[in-house]
Amino acid sequence: MDTNAVLRHRQTILACLHDGDISIRRRALELCYALVNGQNVRLVVKELLAFLEVADNEFKLGLTTELSLAAERFAPDKRWHIDTVLRTLKLAGNFVREEILASFIRLVCHTPELQAYTVRKLYLGLGADLSQESLTLAATWLIGEFGDVLLDGPVDEGGRAVSEGEIVDLLFSVLHSPYSNSLSSQFVLTALVKLSARFAERPGGGSHELARIEAVLRTFDHTQELELQQRAVEYGSLLGLAEVRTGVLERMPPPEIRQTIMGTVSEKRSVGSTRSTKDTVRLGGLSWCSVPAPSFGARAHAS
């Protein structure tokens, strides 16, 4: 009822996040969510991220949601917002709701000045850990869309450069990972075909990697998973249509940006449980769906 009175005890409340009693930790979390504002968002979010590293799984779904909503509402700048969500994806990417993932992708699409920075962070994060599903999906989607920026500069502070082959190798590793599933494989196939167009636009680039991408698409031509088979066959056909390929695979228009409202966030569903009965996955306004023949192409895979 009196936020200012409670704020005087902020340090005590934050310390209670690490109490041995789970009920105290739960009450402390509820208070932290209620007390976060534009003045203390950096401090509170830092403490919540530290708690996320050691939190029990039962806390993680709600915690990742509240962290992302706090960053969306009170972020002092877009880079801090992106860094906060990136950290959340790395720490608990298996406990991120679909709307939060979609909101992050929309944010990056609408922030061209930070796209190279974000894609490089995602490239390094994905290379270090393939086990966090939302990190894998976000990285795959954004590398497919903006992966050519990885070739324009160093990806880390050590000045290490990345080649076209290394980018393709990373996406291949997602396909062959023990954590791979149908959804991540769909994202990878779409990212690969998008990258083939990105690489082809660069002087002297793309021919060798295009052959590798065509080869991996053919391996899915007879898979028993209809969604993967359809994408592989249609994308393989598209790659042979040089006169339209570049236009179909150009960058998507940025999705409509809108605030993530708490009431619209799924209560108990992380991103791994979003399959619908029509093999269409909707992520809070972004959809990755089967592309009906003969209208194949990357423009159809997101709304």
**Domain annotation covers residue 60:** no
Q: What is the pLDDT of residue 8?
A: 83
Residue 9 has pLDDT above 90, yes or no: no
Assess whether 36 and 153 both reside in one domain. no
11 pLDDT band, cuts 50/70/90, is confident
Residue 139 has pLDDT above 50, yes or no: yes
SS3 string, the chain, reads: CCHHHHHCCHHHHHHHHHCCCHHHHHHHHHHHHHHCCCCCHHHHHHHHHHHHHHCCHHHHHHHHHHHHHHHHHHCCCHHHHHHHHHHHHHHHHHHCEHHHHHHHHHHHHCCHHHHHHHHHHHHHHHHHCCCCHHHHHHHHHHHHHHHHHHHHCCCCCCCCCCCHHHHHHHHHHHHCCCCCCHHHHHHHHHHHHHHHHHHHCCCCCCHHHHHHHHHHHHCCCCCCCHHHHHHHHHHHHHHCCHHHHHHHCCCCCCCCCCCCCHHHCCCCCEHHHCCCCCCEEEECCEEEECCCCCCCCHHHHCC
Residue 294 has pLDDT above 50, yes or no: no
Q: What is the pLDDT of residue 153?
A: 85
Assess whether 39 and 112 both reside in one domain. no
**Domain annotation covers residue 121:** yes
Assess whether 236 and 290 both reside in one domain. yes
Q: How many domains, in total, are found in the chain?
A: 2
Residue 288 has pLDDT above 80, yes or no: no
**Domain annotation covers residue 268:** yes
Residue 116 has pLDDT above 70, yes or no: yes
Assess whether 99 and 38 both reside in one domain. no
Residue 143 belongs to what domain range?
Answer: 77-301
Which stretch of 101-105, 116-120, 199-203 has the lowest confidence by average pLDDT?
Answer: 199-203
**Domain annotation covers residue 72:** no
Assess whether 131 and 166 both reside in one domain. yes
Residue 59 has pLDDT above 50, yes or no: yes
Residue 298 has pLDDT above 60, yes or no: no
**Domain annotation covers residue 194:** yes
150 pLDDT band, cuts 50/70/90, is very high
Q: What is the pLDDT of residue 255?
A: 84
4 pLDDT band, cuts 50/70/90, is confident
Q: Please give the average per-residue pLDDT across 29-47, as a whole number.
A: 91
